[in-house]
Amino acid sequence: MSGLRLVRVTRDYPVRDGVRPALQPIDLTVRPGEFLCIIGPSGCGKTTLLNVMAGLDRQHGGSLTRDNPDAVTSCMFQESRLLPWLNVRDNLAFVLDGPLRAQGDLIDEWLQRVGLEGHGRDYPHQLSVGMQQRVAVARAMIVRPDILLMDEPFSALDELTALKMRTEVLELCDELGATVVLVTHNPLEAVYLADRLVVMSGQPGGILQTMDLGHLGRPRDPDDPELWRVSRSAVSALTEAAARQPASG
Amino acid sequence: MGRLASPLFRLAGLLTLVLAWLALSRLVGTQMVPGPVATFGFIIREFERGALQLHLAATMYRVLIAFAVAMGLGVLTGMLMGLHRRVDELLEAWVIAGLSIPRLVLFVAAYLVLGLNDRAAILALMISLLPTVIVQVREGTRAVDGKLVEMAVAFRRSRLEIWHRVILPQLMPYIIGTARTTLSLAWKMVILAELTGRTSGVGYQISFYFQMFNMPGILAYGVTMMILLAVVDLVLMGGLQRWAFRWRKPVGGVA
């Protein structure tokens, strides 16, 4: 288990006549074992911030530290990003190191946990989008991550599948004790999953509001009116911030 | 019908080709265009006296060496040009020059500089193939899916593993496609090289029978080359392609 600390993190992109800032200086601490959701409108820098946390973008300002420098980080993306030339088993083995790769039992165990036993030899194109995303869940979890970073992992799924997978991912993260940062467009999804909600806005993106959702307890019912109320207040904060900003493309 | 339809259509296509050949032979006369029976009879006679194998082996030797070197160098250079803009800018003029230079000029220049030997023929052949390989592999490298690379980086995979498991499989369609094109180009180019400056090989034999005005001889070697190229392309390269892309969704297939 490991937390994350971001101090005055910025990211500028070079443009023809200088630089375009994508992130305002951001200070954020993600506590060990916490499930943090980031919501915000398109283009506010949510994915940029997640890429910085994942180490995919190293051209940022400020500092990023992990409580445990050896923490295992894992990712889930909007699309499954499975390697199409590897079958399901080999896609899982791909993220494992050395001796673990040869452990067929471990792969079997995770295939079973995501309900894909019997599909180990299938290639990604032989699976539905929902099944592919289940493989991506297994791939993210099989490394037993200390930190799990997810970028809109349920947005490509139909609502019924997404609802089921949210619950499953929540249970798996809880079992592994992983620290989770999830970026989403969906305020209700964020309120259903998160211990804490970060609302981002603007271009360049900054943190507009942080909402502690501990009072909602666990497990949560997606139809709980309190979830809807909290989600609406997050949307209101976003709408007000958007109204204060000049219109942009 | 289903499963049988495909081979039947292929057989029908081949049959029309043979019929067209027969018709042409009848139309212009067997002296000008010998029919299939006369041509294959000549091929058998050439085989029995050992000439066919000898000249085919000489041609294949030249083709295979030039092809292997062009593929090795071309894949490497193409990948470097696709990955690094500066390398691309530096070598762009060379590639354009290589693509546009008349092949005959290359062979004549090589023979003048290096002499009438295999070294010159193979070098000129290799140079004539290289730009095609470079361009196709460069385009393939540019088309690599960055999201898959990003995924591998996010899971802390080593650089070597990213190349081996993520980038190379994406380049394989381009490499195998290029290999097929290049090999067929090499077969055609080598005839030119042998015609202009060698004393062995299929090209030389065609030139020899041309001087004798021996149409069955010319056709026999031409047809043998065609059959050989078709077998190599369909069986060897096609088989390699099917094996390398066994993971692909079949066209018209359902997930």
DSSP result, A117-160: TT-TT--GGGS-HHHHHHHHHHHHHHT--SEEEEESTTTTS-HH
Which whole number is the average pLDDT over B142-169?
A: 93
Q: Do B248 and A84 touch (CB under 8 A)?
A: yes
Please indicate, yes or no, if residue A78 is contained in any of the structural domains: no
Do A215 and A149 reside in the same domain of the chain? Answer: yes
Domains of chain A: total: 2
CB of A157 within 8 A of CB of A129?
yes
The ipTM, to two decimals, is 0.89
Nearest to B187 by CA among B149, B218, B226, B154: B226
A100 & A136 share domain: yes
In this predicted structure, what is the pLDDT of residue A249? 39
Instruction: For residues A8 and A111, state if they share a domain.
Output: no
**A45 and A124 part of one domain:** no
Which of the residue ranges A233-247, B18-32, B146-160 would you say has the lowest mean pLDDT? A233-247
Q: Within this chain, do residues A127 and A15 fall inside the same structural domain, yes or no?
A: no
Predicted pLDDT of residue B96: 94
Q: List the domain range (segments joined by +) for residue A170.
A: 4-72+145-244
DSSP assignment of A20-72 equals EEEEEEEEEEE-TT-EEEEE--TTSSHHHHHHHHHTS----EEEEEESSTT--
Q: What is the pTM of this model?
A: 0.80
The answer for A32, left when phi > 0, alpha when psi is -120 to 50, beta otherwise, is beta
In chain A, the percentage of residues whose pLDDT exceeds 90 is: 66
Q: How many of the other CB atoms lie within 10 Å of CB of A235? A: 14
Distance CA A73, CA A98 (A): 17
Mean pLDDT of B159-176: 92
Q: If you count residue pairs, one on A and one on B, with CB atoms under 8 Å apart, how many are there? A: 50
B148, B154, B166 ranked by CB distance to A54: nearest: B154
pLDDT at A232: 92
- Report the percentage of chain B scoring pLDDT > 70: 96
Residues whose CB is less than 8 angstroms from the CB of residue A81 and which lie 6 or more positions away in sequence, other chains included: A136, B147, B148, B150, B151
Residues belonging to chain B with any Cβ–Cβ distance to chain A shorter than 8 Å: 147-148, 150-157, 165-166, 169, 247-249, 253, 255
Domain identity same for A60 and A150: yes
Whether A214 and A128 map to the same domain: the answer is no
Q: Six-digit token pair at B107?
A: 């062979």
Render pLDDT for B179-204 as a digit per residue (tens, 0 to 9).
Answer: 989 998 998 899 989 988 888 999 99
Is A84 within 8 Å of B154 when comparing Cβ atoms? no
More reliable by pLDDT, B131 or B173: B131
Given this model, what pLDDT does residue B255 score? 40
Q: Which among A51, A77, A81 is the top mutation candidate for probing chain B, defined by the most B β-carbons within 10 Å of its own β-carbon?
A: A81
**pLDDT for res B253:** 46
A133 and A172 together in one domain: no
What is the rounded distance in angstroms from the CA atom of residue A135 to the CA atom of residue A141? 10
Asked if omega into A204 is within 30° of 0 (cis), the reply is yes
Nearest to A138 by CA among B155, B248, B246: B155
> Of the candidates A95, A112, A143, which is a domain's last residue?
A143
Q: Please give the residue of chain A at the shortest CA–CA distance from B173.
A: A85
Identify the pLDDT of residue A39: 93
Q: In angstroms, how far is CA B81 from the centroid of its own chain? A: 23
Kindly report, residue by residue over A4-55, the tens digit of the pLDDT: 999 999 999 988 888 999 999 999 999 999 999 999 888 889 999 999 999 9
Q: Collapsing DSSP states into helix, strand and coil, what is residue A85?
A: coil
Query: A9 and A110: one domain?
Result: no
Q: How do the domains of chain B map onto residue ranges?
A: 35-243
Q: What is the pLDDT at residue A161?
A: 86
A75 and B156 within 8 Å at the Cβ level: the answer is no
For residue A41, the model assigns a pLDDT of 85
Nearest chain B residue to A121, by CA: B247
CB contact under 8 A, B155 and A125: no
Nearest neighbour of A83 by CB, restricted to B154, B165, B248? B165
**Same domain membership, residue A55 and residue A149:** yes
Q: How far apart are CA A176 and CA A140, in angstroms?
A: 12
Task: Specify whether the CB–CB gap between B175 and B139 falls below 8 A.
Answer: no
Q: Which residues of chain A have pLDDT under 70?
A: 100, 244-249
Q: Write out chain B residues lying below 8 Å of A83, CB-based.
A: 148, 165-166, 169
Question: Does domain B35-243 bear CATH number 3.20.20.120?
Answer: no
Query: Are A61 and A30 in a shared domain?
Result: yes
- A126 and A42 inside one domain: no
Instruction: List pLDDT tens digits, range B85-124.
Output: 999 999 999 999 999 999 889 999 999 999 999 999 999 9
